[in-house]
Each structure stands twice: as C-alpha cells, then as structure tokens.
Amino acid sequence: MYIKKIMLLEYRNYRNMTVDLGRNVNVFMGDNAQGKTNILEAMYYCGFAKSHRTNRDKELVNWDSEKSFISLSVGKERIDKRIDINIFKDGKKAIKVNSIKINKIGELVGVFNVVMFSPEDLKIVKESPGIRRKFLDMELSQLNKKYYYSLVQYNKILNERNTVLKQKKVDVSMLDIYDLQLSEFAEYIVRERIKYIDKLNEHGKIVHNEITSGKEVIEFKYLSSIKSLDDIKKSFLEGLEKNRSKDIEKRLTSIGPHRDDFLILINDIDAKSYGSQGQQRTAVLSIKFASLRIIKDITGEYPVLLLDDVLSELDFNRKKYVLTSIGQIQTVITCTGIEDLTEYLDEKARVFKVQDGIILT
C-alpha cells in the first residue's frame, strides 16, 4: 500500500497544494511552523477520519474559508482507492471512497492503513491508561471492522448506562438490560485486545531485540478490570452486579474494557515507572514497528509509515534501525534538515522543501 498523490485545499495553512509521492522514502524538510506536520496529519486523517493532534475538526479549516478538502490517491495490490474528504467549519465532514459517499466512519476505517510515529507517542508509555487503550482501539479498528462496530456500540450503551446512574432515582431494571448488552460487546472487545497483545509480544520482542542488540527484553501484558478472562461475559456480569451499589454512588460504570490497560515491561521492569527516557523511546519504537508487521501479516500489505519529526529525537542506533528497516515500506518523513539522512537516501527517495504552506521540489 502506498500514497500516489495528496491534494489539500484550504487545509490549515495550505490554500492549494498537490504532491505526487514516490513509493519509497519521501522527506518533507523545512523550518518549524511551516506546515510539514499538517501534511502528515491530512494523510492520517484519511485513515481514521480524525486528527492525531486535535479533536476539533474545525481547526483543520483555513481561517479564511468555510471548508477544507483532502484528496488521497492510494495504490493497493488489488484495487486502488481514492479518498475525498470535505471538512466544514461547523465540524461536519463528508467522505467519499472512489466517488461513493459513505455514511459511517466504519466504512472508511481500513481502506487506507497507516502507522504514525511522532514525539507525542511517548505518552503511550509514560501517561494514563486511556492513551494505551486508544492505541489498541485505533490499531484494531483499522484491521477489524467488527471490532470498530463493537467498540462504537459498547461506548454508546456505556453512555446510556451512565446516564441512568446519574438519575435521582436509578431504574434498576434498565441497568439489568444495559449490563447484558454491555457484556456481549465487552467479551469481543477484550478477546480481540488480548489477541493483539499476543501479536505485539510476538513481533515487538523481535524488534526490541534487534534495536538493543539483545541487551533488553520487552513484554506486554493486558490488564483487565474484569476478574476472570476465562469466561469474560460471565465474570463481567458478576462484576457489574457486585459493583452496582458503588456505581450508583459514583454515578459511573467502574469496570469494563473502558477501564482496562496494558503493561509494558523491559527486563521485567515497568517501563512507565522505572524506564529511562531511552528505554521508553525504544519501547515506543518497538510498538510502532511491531504494528507495521502485524498489519502486513493480516492484510498482506505494509501500511504507510509516517515519521513526524522523530529522527532528531533518536540516538544513532535507534535512528539507524528506523532508516534501515523501511526498505519495503512507503515512508513519509518530516525534518528540519536531511544531513543525518543522506547516507540512507537513494535515487528513489523524494525530498520536498516546505516553506509557509508551499511545497518546493
């Protein structure tokens, strides 16, 4: 899978921009605040219909315009795709795939597979469980439409259950109904997450071993608020019943996939609490490159890799690993200079200069 062309109209600081990309390495170089990340953001948006930087779509529209437009032409082994997205100032969006309008985001997810690695991804290791859950949900959603559907339904029912819990007089009969509905989707969500963690261990350990020259071992462990994972549905229902008084008092649902997490261990030590900055960066690198391999295993094609100003953050060994591991993968890199990249760029690589929302080739 690879991007053939991207067009941006009135997208952030781009008034009218079209770029043809090469199938290998593409470098967007320029000073800070020129619009390099905006290009990667638009590519990412075509995969998930959301930005990796903001939850407010209206921020993607140029200040002087009422809407922005992204068009992405994607080459695939079977059927090429073109994704067209209009984003309006009021936050609404209209999406077409090969000129056919789609009505649900779930119809877009998986059309264009992408893995992004940015400095903010350190949060996967360092910050709250919600960040790690989001990572799992995004990766699984682009690989499994049933997972995406189950997650949407689970969150919808969860919100309805929490609304009941916030009422002055809680309707217990409604909680019974919601508990049963939640358990159906929770079982599938947790099982798929555990399978993904198993794959993350399978590939992540190999990647981490290569980066650290065998000096470190990484391991991922799923942490569930559901007591028994042998019979998830039964255990979840029992937990909801046991915690019902607590839930009514707190006015929220205290257990379920929305409370789960996963642990990142390096040499059996919790990387979040005790890992060095270097170890945490290596852990994220291992996660991202494992994700690439997982997508290749499942879809038969590598996704597009987006590297947003991360190479300057990596030491020599980690940078070398990244740049020598992307031979078969279309990679889009943003940076302020290419001095450290020149020995890894061949005649197939394309370099673009970005200056104030204009691409210079």
Known binding positions for ATP: 30-37
Report the largest interatomic distance among the alpha carbons of the chain, rounded to a whole angstrom: 70
Structure-token pair, residue 46? 């075509």
Checking DSSP bridges between strand 331-335 and strand 25-29, what pairing results, if any?
parallel
Residue 166 CB neighbour total at 10 angstroms: 11
Binding-site annotation, residues? 30-37
Structure-token pair, residue 24? 């290998």
Which has the closest alpha carbon to 51: 34, 63, 62, 39? 39
Listed in order, strand segments (DSSP E) in the chain are 2-11, 14-20, 25-29, 67-75, 81-88, 93-97, 100-102, 114-117, 218-223, 261-266, 269-270, 304-308, 331-335, 350-355, 358-360
Contact (CB, 8 A) for 187 and 173: no
Distance CA 342, CA 338 (A): 6
Alpha-helix residue ranges (DSSP H) falling in 111-243:
123-126, 129-141, 145-165, 172-211, 232-242
Half-sphere exposure of 133 (CA within 13 A, CB side): 15
